Amino acid sequence: VAKVDPLLRVRFSTSHPKDITDDVLLAMNKHDNICKYIHLPVQSGNTRILSMMNRTYDSNWYRSKIDRIYELVPECAISSDIIAGFCTETEDEHRDTLSMITYANYSMSYMFIYSERPGTLAAKKYPDDIPLEIKKRRLSEIITRQNETSFKHNQAEIGIIRKVLIEGDSKRSAAHFKGRTTQNKMVVFPKSDNLSKGDYVDVRIESATSATLIGKIHQSAEIQITL
């Protein structure tokens, strides 16, 4: 797929950790137009909870997969799905999830409290026994840890020139474009008359929040028009 059109970005959607093989990672590293981004849902950082979720891997195996991704694709950004307050989860098991966020250095995560869904294996086998106030507190701690990690992740981008695929106008300013890097990071930068949605442009990152990179078009920017 990557060879069909060098300007066509290829990005994985949600993947099970077992699907990220060495062959996949080597292909990602070889082809510039395969995004250096993987969404690798962990759900929990604790092995007992993962087993209850029927995830078919433990926390050590997942950590080894994270290590392999960074080894073979050093610039890869990894995101995740995380659930707070799964059935019978203890405080120590919750802290394992917080530790996993730091270890994996997720660029971002989708974070939720556990809610029982009728008909699922979990609903049939396990009591939804974590009080809502505890679920909310644990989710808040997960969000805080992820925001801290995302901020550090994005701060490391300052001073780097990234090729950005323009997606359109920024939501906050009609004078700015928004676009994404190969790591799926959102970038906002001032518009230029010779650019439009679908074009690629080199942007120097000048500042960052936990969610967004802010930059300016590099003076000797490479501009590629996508037809």
Count of all residues that appear for the chain in the document: 227
With a CB cutoff of 8 Å and minimum separation 6, the contacts of 205 are: 157, 158, 159, 160, 161, 162, 187, 213, 214, 215
What's the confidence (pLDDT) of residue 11?
83
Q: How many structural domains are present in the chain?
A: 2
Q: What CATH number is associated with residue 182?
A: 2.40.50.140
Q: What's the CATH code of the domain at 61?
A: 3.30.750.200
Give the pLDDT confidence of 138-151 residue by residue, as tens digits.
999 999 999 999 99
4 pLDDT more than 70: no
Contacts of 158 (CB under 8 A, 6+ apart): 205, 206, 207, 208
Q: Domain containing 192: what range?
A: 161-224
Spatial separation of the C-alpha atoms in residues 114 and 42, rounded to whole Å: 14
Q: Are strands 176-180 and 223-224 parallel, antiparallel or unpaired?
A: unpaired
Query: What is the percent of the chain with per-residue pLDDT over 70, rounded to a whole number?
Result: 91
pTM (global) more than 0.95: no
Residues 121 and 22 grouped into a single domain? yes
Best CA proximity match to 197, nearest among 165, 173, 149: 165
